[in-house]
Amino acid sequence: MPVVTFRAAGADNCVRVADLPYVYVRTGAGGAVLPASCPHRGGPLNLAEVDPAGRRLVCPWHERGTSLARLRRQVPAVRSADTVTAVLPGPADAPVELCHLPLSPALDAGT
């Protein structure tokens, strides 16, 4: 499993491990590193909204809700100042790339 440090917001706020993107998000329930792709059809969860109960991310492509609690359990991570260190799924030698993904206002790490 690769251990990767990346920015919590702004440029390089996303890390791709074996072409799967992950971003740091902040919601009413706190911060977490989450997959940026919907597990259902690969929609951009980085642009998702949070349901009114604060329990699910709603995919902007097909409005399917995905449990925030389940997503949070997938990636152990620690934020320190402006960076996040996460243990991401995949082989230790998986290709890792820093990139940038926009976040919806509901997931904005800058709030």
Q: What is the pTM of this model?
A: 0.88
Q: What share of the chain is helix, strand, coil (3-state, %, to 5)?
A: 10, 40, 45
Task: Report the pLDDT value the prediction gives residue 34, as an integer from 0 to 100.
Answer: 92
Tens digit of pLDDT for each residue in 36-77? 998 888 899 999 999 999 899 999 998 889 898 888 888 999
Q: How far is CA 74 from the centre of its chain?
A: 10
Q: How confident is the model at residue 111 (pLDDT cuts 50, 70, 90)?
A: very low
Q: How far is CA 52 from the centre of its chain?
A: 19
* Domains in the chain with CATH codes: 3-107 (2.102.10.10)
